[in-house]
Homo-oligomer: A and B are copies of this chain.
Amino acid sequence: MFKPVMTAAVAVGCLAHVALAQEVAELDDTIEATAKALIEAARVDEVGLTFVEDLTTEVGQRLAGSEAEQRARDWSVAELNELGFDAVRVEAFDIPFWSRKSEAVAVLTPSPQELVATALGGSAATPKDGVSGPVVRFESLADLQSAPVSKVDGKIVFIDEYTIKTMDGSGYGMGVRKRSGCAKATSDKGGLACLIRSVGTQPHRMPHTGIMARDGAEGDGPVAAISGPDADQLTRLLARGPVTVSVNIQTEIKTNAPSGNVIAEVTGTDLRDEIVLLGCHLDSWDLGTGALDDGAGCGIVVGAAKLIAELPERPRRTIRVVLYGAEEVGLFGATAYAREHGDDLDKHVLASESDFGAGPIWRFQTRFGEAALPYARTIQNLLIPLGVTPGDNRARGGPDIGILARSGVPVVTPGQNGIDYFDYHHTPDDTFDKIDPDEFRQNVAVYAAFAYVATETGWDFRKQPEPETVGTE
């Protein structure tokens, strides 16, 4: 009879868990009505979309550490002041600077032809006249890493690994591994340069840049991405026989260049010391105008915060918008923020970052204290009319607020549908026309609603269950 008893116990435990999983927190009627009004206002909002249109038009690309990123900070400070935000300021820091000057990749034999390539951020330069040699192809970074030195020495490595399209962007993680690891694995084995199949997911001749692993401004070797059709071409040529290619990458590097985080607030009232942080990053890669990555994120959080600022009453907690600098090249803004505000993290009651384009939000992921999960459910219920489903409680936060999440700051990750994101991300095609205004505004609605509820309720998103009382009978 032992087994059935255990089963019953497990069943009771499960039921209790299910019951807990459904528990919601009660929301004040006025707060709920105001949150719904914010959602309606967001559906026709122009502030957020205009922010990203103007930023990407009037500044353009905003490579970290460049004069253009400086212009973006100046532009943002002026714009945020114009919009009536409080305490608009820049928290400055320095970064190592890398910029492409030129890149050229070409097949030399058996049939001379140029390949469309882009140097990865941090790529070492080649000698002025480039390098050339036979190509050795690997189907994955792992294959390169396990290859004998003799297979790589004196060669140009080509990693022909695909990126899988997924709604949640998980396919990108694998792509980033080859982007980070190829130069070092190549140079460790005497290879001359590395070419990777572009991490992007579109079928166009538009390769995807992004940072390689590096210390300082420059990494271990020359590394470039070739577009998908060019990777196909190289693979077809290699199937016919030996292929030699040339690679020429020229760069500009500096030890120190200026960057900074732009901060603006909607000052709260009775709980003004408590911060609801809404983040994005202001820098972009140099190829596009950084509309999706991450002009959109900045437009979304600025638009949402501005809607809250326009309510008849100021919010109880302070909403802090942080436009991080130098995210793309190593999360320098995130580190600087954590350094500057490290003594104050307990006052950060919630943080969220928009950095995955402008696709519609389809799930509401959190990382809350376990006893705060009913708050997540209540907020997600508010967002059902926007098409937002429940998410798990394992959110890691966006790239810039991951460091806060790891320090215990509760985070919300409104999960966007990113199925097409890597078609544009880090390519010349990351431009304003790729943003769907209605989908963008759905994002503004989600951010405005949850940020508002987080300020007005005073809920403690760190809340843990009470320790269980030990029975005395």
Cβ B204 vs Cβ A113 within 8 A = no
A212 CA to B60 CA, complexed, in Å: 30
A205 interface residue (CB < 8 Å to B) = yes
A433 interface residue (CB < 8 Å to B) = yes
A70 CA to B325 CA, complexed, in Å: 52
- Of A51-59, A126-134, A407-415, which binds chain B? A51-59
User: How many residues of A sit at the interface, in one of the four size bands?
Assistant: 20 to 34
Question: Which residues on B sit within 8 Å (CB–CB) of A61?
Answer: 113
Question: Which residues on B sit within 8 Å (CB–CB) of A369?
Answer: none
Q: For chain A residues 231-254, which have a beta carbon within 8 Å of chain B? A: 232-233, 236-237, 240
Total copies of the chain = 2
Cβ B113 vs Cβ A205 within 8 A = no
A288 interface residue (CB < 8 Å to B) = yes
Quote the shortest CB–CB distance from A78 to chain B (angstroms). Answer: 13
Cβ B204 vs Cβ A237 within 8 A = no
Q: Closest residue of chain B to A291, judged by CB?
A: B229
Question: Which residues on B sit within 8 Å (CB–CB) of A204?
Answer: 204, 206, 429
With known contacts A58-B111, A289-B233, A429–B205 Cβ distance under 8 A:
yes
Cβ A60 vs Cβ B428 within 8 A = no
Question: Which residues on B sit within 8 Å (CB–CB) of A203?
Answer: 433-434
Question: Which residues on B sit within 8 Å (CB–CB) of A206?
Answer: 204-206
A325 CA to B105 CA, complexed, in Å: 28
Cβ A205 vs Cβ B59 within 8 A = no
A84 interface residue (CB < 8 Å to B) = no
A224 interface residue (CB < 8 Å to B) = no
Quote the shortest CB–CB distance from A55 to chain B (angstroms). Answer: 11
A432 CA to B234 CA, complexed, in Å: 12
A-B contact pairs, 9 of them (CB 8 A): A57-B233, A58-B237, A60-B233, A68-B112, A203-B433, A228-B433, A229-B429, A229-B431, A233-B432
Interface residues of A (CB under 8 A from B): 53, 57-61, 68, 71, 107, 110-113, 116, 203-206, 228-229, 232-233, 236-237, 240, 288-289, 428-429, 431-434
